[in-house]
Amino acid sequence: MKQSSLETFGDSGVTAPDASGNDSAAVSDGRLRIAVNQVEYSNTAEGTVIHIFGRDESKAASEIVVTGFRPYFYVLRRDLDTRDIPGGCEADTGNEYRSIRGEDLVRIYTPKPGDVKTIREDYHHFEADIPFATRFMIDTGITGGISVPKGKNPVHFSEIEPCTVNAPARICFMDIECEDCNGFPNPESERINCITAWDSFDDHYTVFYWHPDAKKEEYCSALIKETEKFLEESGSAAAGRCTIRIFRSEYLLLLGLSEYIAEKDPDVLSGWNFVDFDIPYILKR
């Protein structure tokens, strides 16, 4: 399969592989099918590599590594006839491409996605402002899920096929509580006292709390019992499905949170005012 042209925009089919090698992945007819949660890319000595992250219907996570798809944009053919293209670029002069106004165009392939922004300035350009990951999804027709050959990693982009997969993303909602003795919490000086996380797959709450008395077993036991009693008596949604973890310091609390995130491997981290406050605060601490 070729990368799509202006005339075949969105009409191409696709096919991709399982980069994780996960034997528990949902496989049918020798192909792995996953719902796509994230598409990223990295630059290597061999070219740009695309990374597709998602889950199959058994909820198993996979990373699909895709090769062979190159960044490009279009220029007027008459402009290309009067100047040389930069080194490392390639002009596809063997195929016909036309703008919506019928202008004769040439596709220019660049070494890396970031090169498009620089090289396009020398031309009257077309489709040079489309992010590379978006360009890939448009050309391959990916809208929600993909099918790729089982056990093949990496996979050429021509082997990817779009499909529909019923596989919800794993979501982790988080909320932090901080010291506020001096007014609004400042991550430069005020510590995080507590973090509560909820995992959508487990439907379970985990509380990360630190206190200097955490080394005392009687303190931890009493706090956990008191909290569980409160949740039960108040009719909280967390009653019966909450784990309380107590640490001796903020550092150990954050270490415990990191281990939790690594274990759950959520596709989405979210929460109330999470992007503007919680996650920046956690990262700064």
Tens-digit pLDDT profile for residues 83-95: 788 888 999 988 9
Note whether 210 and 223 are same-domain residues.
yes
* Inter-residue contact 168 to 57 (CB < 8 Å): no
Note whether 126 and 226 are same-domain residues.
no
* The pLDDT value given to residue 81: 73
Rounded Cα distance, 226 and 219, in Å: 11
Note whether 144 and 177 are same-domain residues.
no
- Structural domain harbouring 117: 1-167
Note whether 181 and 160 are same-domain residues.
no
CATH code of the domain in which 19 resides: 3.30.342.10
pTM: 0.78
* Residue scoring higher pLDDT (29 or 46): 46
* The pLDDT value given to residue 27: 54
State which of 115, 142, 167 marks the end of a domain. Answer: 167
Note whether 43 and 150 are same-domain residues.
yes
Note whether 184 and 151 are same-domain residues.
no
Query: Which among 125, 88, 131, 132 is positioned nearest to 110, based on CA atoms?
Result: 88
Rounded Cα distance, 198 and 237, in Å: 11
What sign for the dihedral angle of Cα 34, 37, 38, 39? positive
Note whether 161 and 182 are same-domain residues.
no
Note whether 177 and 265 are same-domain residues.
yes
* Inter-residue contact 39 to 52 (CB < 8 Å): yes
Give strand pairing partners of 201: none
The percent of residues above 90 in pLDDT, for the chain, comes to 64
Rounded Cα distance, 108 and 14, in Å: 22
Taking only the tens place, the pLDDT of each residue in 191-238 is 999 999 999 999 999 999 998 887 788 888 888 888 888 888 888 888
Rounded Cα distance, 158 and 27, in Å: 19
Structural domains of the chain, count: 2
